[in-house]
Amino acid sequence: MHISEIGRLANSITYVKGVGPAKSELLEKEKGIVNQWDMLMEFPFRYIDRRSFNLIQEPVEEGQIVQYKGKILNVIVQGESRKRRLTAEFTDGTGTITLIWFQGVSRLEKLIRNGERIIVFGRLSIYNRKRTIAHPEIEILDDQSGERKSKGLQPVYSSTEKLNSKGLDTKGIRRITYNLIADLREHDVYESLPNYLLQKLKLISRYKAFKWIHFPPDHAELKQAQTRLIFEELFTLQLQMLFRMKSRKAKFKGLSFEKVGNYFLQFYNQELPFELTGAQKKVLREIRADTKSGVQMNRLVQGDVGSGKTIVAVMAILLAIDNGYQACLMAPTEILATQHYLKIEQQLKNIGLKAAYLSGSVKGKKRKLILEELERGEIHLLIGTHAIIEEWVKFKSLGLSITDEQHRFGVEQRAKLWKKSGDTPPHVMVMTATPIPRTLAMTLYGDLDISVIDELPPGRKAVKTTTTYDKYRGRLNQFLKSEIAKGRQIYVVYPLIEESSKLDLANLQEGYERLLEQFPRPDYQIGVVHGKMKPEDKEMEMQKFAQGRTNILVSTTVIEVGVNVPNASVMVIENAERFGLSQLHQLRGRVGRGAEQSHCILLTGYKLTKVARKRMEIMCSTNNGFVIAEEDLKLRGPGEIEGTKQSGDLNLRMANLARDGHILKTARDLARAILDKDPELQHPENLLLRKLIERQSGNNLLNRIG
């Protein structure tokens, strides 16, 4: 936020009542809070509603959370020194319960007297039909009115251990924020949205939104504050993205692929081993329309694992070549890039075209030759890892760049590409099997067009997914043997998470040795692949598996993306509870590529968290990547109904994409309409919006994905 926009709030928080140098220093250290604006931006992550009460006479269950309003009847302190405990009878006129404390007894003794009117809040336990609440939260009511002193919903703030120990727990932070807000005036808060938008959408002012997000008088006001702030956040993002997209389109012309030529047709008629699915044809038509429009294509092609993205890429490449351009195809790993190369190189050769492979590991003379041929235009297609967009790689006329299995293709990379073809940038296509929910896609790729291959090639049998526990390994091995006897191959995948990678590798090694005992040579062949191996060794193991020379491939998630071995029909995932949903789905996609029935077996420990259990259930219940992506987003979302914290790395403060899809759509539609009418945002009424565009610093998301 620019200093001129936060005005007086740029002052140190030491000016706020209740914040001395010690607290201020700690807040800076623990939360990066320096000035009053930062403090204001520390939104509560949930709220407590303490205004409706239960009656003691109501039927209740063990463990239920209740809130009663009533009177202390009889306080008794028992025991000596550290073993002291305080019990109190409590009534609300409809019955009595017992409150009990084992800690903080001396403080409570002074606080709770016979006859004191209080509110108690806590978890009931029922023993011998007697109801007790241990360590309830209490609030002493006003002597005169018998009402609570604070009104409205109570904000709950996140704290840290260190803050807690210095009195800056949620209550402490609440007090400071309260004092800050009490002094806040309308003109202290810069309004970022033009009036006409506020009116059109019936949004409250930014000032009011800040007040109510911290101290909402009621649910309705909280909702208004949230809506305003969520809209602002999503709208800003969309406006910036669309503005950027427009100026890019205005700045860069696109290459025009005028014709569908001989290579395309020859391939289509002679080389294509199957009929394209309707979805593949549809996406090809979209690509065709883009590439001849004269505007640069920026297209994301989404298609579930096995939906046949590769062939679509090949056809698009032929379109480029037909029009006299070169193309490049990038993959995130060497394994994947090689696999593409081996397959596509042959296909192109058959129709008289030349493909080459380049990665960091291609060196010396070989590399030199490739670079020369590329610059002379003798290589039509360059396949490889990201090495192929490095500066020293020069094309004669790059017309199309395709990135496979990478949904984070950053601005930096796109910018590099643009430099590769003179004044006019190549068309760009990014393919991903990670089904991104529409809302997320709009936010991440607001400036990309999206195609979806939403149909699998015919004849695929859905993968059968089951879960089993470690202790049933014996039975699992029997099953694996029977599959191998049928000529099938098996993946066994272990999680490998960077921080604990040593431990994980040991885990994989142990699993490998266990398998060797169960599946002895020479009857069985087992291969191992993991990220710490040399690329050549990895490559060799993968090839052995692809050629059917190994029965079982033990690996980390390096096989996650793209690898295609149709004869592999069983995927065993070890410690499945440690994987996220999307990753599990990706892994499962490695099987089910042939005509045989495939299986995915999720091995887990016996005790699972609720979320992990849910993930397993979802995996067993559906094969649909989009359903899984939506569920994933929900599970990873904030969970709190009124919560405002966003998980994940989108840097969204307020918005939750799983929940706020409709606001996002409104924001996007409005941003688009405004830019259509006033592309440069020069109308006086759009002055504030112009500022939103100019304020790009500090927005990591945009800087990252452009």
- From 361-369, 557-565, 567-575, 692-700, span contacting Mg ion (CB under 5 A): 557-565
From Mg ion, ligand ADP, none, which one binds at residue 644 (CB under 5 to 8 Å depending on kind)?
Answer: none
CB 693 within 8 A of CB 243: yes
Binding of Mg ion at residue 562 (CB under 5 A)? yes
- From 200-208, 417-425, 556-564, 571-579, span contacting Mg ion (CB under 5 A): 556-564
Nearer to ligand ADP, 280 or 298 (CB): 280
At closest approach, how far in Å is the CB of 670 from ligand ADP? 35
Residue nearest to ligand ADP (CB): 308
Instruction: Look up residue 453 and give its two tokens.
Output: 């291959």
At closest approach, how far in Å is the CB of 699 from ligand ADP? 33
Nearer to ligand ADP, 214 or 309 (CB): 309
Nearer to ligand ADP, 331 or 657 (CB): 331
Nearer to ligand ADP, 501 or 567 (CB): 567
At closest approach, how far in Å is the CB of 336 from Mg ion? 8
At closest approach, how far in Å is the CB of 588 from ligand ADP? 12
Nearer to Mg ion, 254 or 562 (CB): 562
Nearer to ligand ADP, 1 or 276 (CB): 276
What is the binding site for ligand ADP (CB under 6 A)?
Answer: 274, 276-277, 280, 303, 305-311, 433, 457, 562, 564, 566, 593
Nearer to Mg ion, 70 or 562 (CB): 562
From Mg ion, ligand ADP, none, which one binds at residue 44 (CB under 5 to 8 Å depending on kind)?
Answer: none
- From 168-176, 185-193, 260-268, 554-562, span contacting Mg ion (CB under 5 A): 554-562
Location of structure tokens 């005028």: 258
- From 58-66, 175-183, 236-244, 555-563, span contacting Mg ion (CB under 5 A): 555-563
Nearer to ligand ADP, 515 or 629 (CB): 629
Cβ neighbors of 203 (< 8 A, separation 6 or more) are: 193, 197, 224, 227, 228, 231
CB 405 within 8 A of CB 431: yes
E strands in 547-617: 552-555, 568-573, 599-604
At closest approach, how far in Å is the CB of 563 from ligand ADP? 9
At closest approach, how far in Å is the CB of 303 from ligand ADP? 5
Closest CA to 446 of 650, 250, 279: 650
Closest CA to 313 of 247, 200, 204, 401: 401
Binding of Mg ion at residue 303 (CB under 5 A)? no
From Mg ion, ligand ADP, none, which one binds at residue 303 (CB under 5 to 8 Å depending on kind)?
Answer: ligand ADP
Binding residues for Mg ion, total number by CB under 5 A: 1
From Mg ion, ligand ADP, none, which one binds at residue 572 (CB under 5 to 8 Å depending on kind)?
Answer: none
Nearer to ligand ADP, 72 or 565 (CB): 565
Distances, alpha carbon 293 to alpha carbons 246, 258, 289, 321, 327, in Å: 15, 9, 6, 17, 18
Q: Nearest-5° angle of CA 119, CA 123, CA 126?
A: 110
Instruction: Look up residue 93 and give its two tokens.
Output: 């006129």
From ligand ADP, Mg ion, none, which one binds at residue 584 (CB under 5 to 8 Å depending on kind)?
Answer: none
Closest CA to 296 of 418, 397, 452, 411: 418
Nearer to ligand ADP, 273 or 422 (CB): 273
Q: Which helix (H) or strand (E) holds 501?
A: helix 501-518
Angle between helices 687-694 and 219-251 (to 10 degrees): 70
At closest approach, how far in Å is the CB of 673 from Mg ion? 37
Nearer to ligand ADP, 234 or 311 (CB): 311
User: Can you tell me the distance from the alpha carbon of 217 to that of 204, in angstroms, rounded to the nearest whole number?
Assistant: 15
Location of structure tokens 């927005």: 699
From Mg ion, ligand ADP, none, which one binds at residue 306 (CB under 5 to 8 Å depending on kind)?
Answer: ligand ADP
Read off φ and ψ for residue 468, nearest 5 degrees: -150, 165
Edge to edge, the sheet with strand 489-493 lists 464-469, 599-604, 568-573, 489-493, 552-555, 526-529
At closest approach, how far in Å is the CB of 592 from ligand ADP? 10
Binding of Mg ion at residue 592 (CB under 5 A)? no
Nearer to ligand ADP, 565 or 655 (CB): 565
For residue 590, the SS3 value is coil
At closest approach, how far in Å is the CB of 599 from ligand ADP? 18
Cis peptide before 437 (omega within 30 of 0): no
CB 133 within 8 A of CB 99: yes
Instruction: Look up residue 371 and give its two tokens.
Output: 């670079």
At closest approach, how far in Å is the CB of 433 from ligand ADP? 5
Q: Is 190 left (phi over 0), alpha (psi -120 to 50) or beta?
A: beta
Distances, alpha carbon 478 to alpha carbons 473, 515, 551, in Å: 9, 12, 14
At closest approach, how far in Å is the CB of 379 from ligand ADP? 23
From Mg ion, ligand ADP, none, which one binds at residue 311 (CB under 5 to 8 Å depending on kind)?
Answer: ligand ADP
From Mg ion, ligand ADP, none, which one binds at residue 401 (CB under 5 to 8 Å depending on kind)?
Answer: none
| Residue environment code for 185-198, b if the CB has 16+ CB neighbours within 10 A, otherwise e | eeebbbebbbeebb
> Dihedral sign, CA of 181, 182, 183, 184?
positive
User: Can you tell me the distance from the alpha carbon of 296 to that of 417, in angstroms, rounded to the nearest whole number?
Assistant: 12
Nearer to ligand ADP, 528 or 561 (CB): 561
- From 124-132, 489-497, 559-567, 640-648, span contacting Mg ion (CB under 5 A): 559-567
**Sites of contact with Mg ion (CB under 5 A):** 562
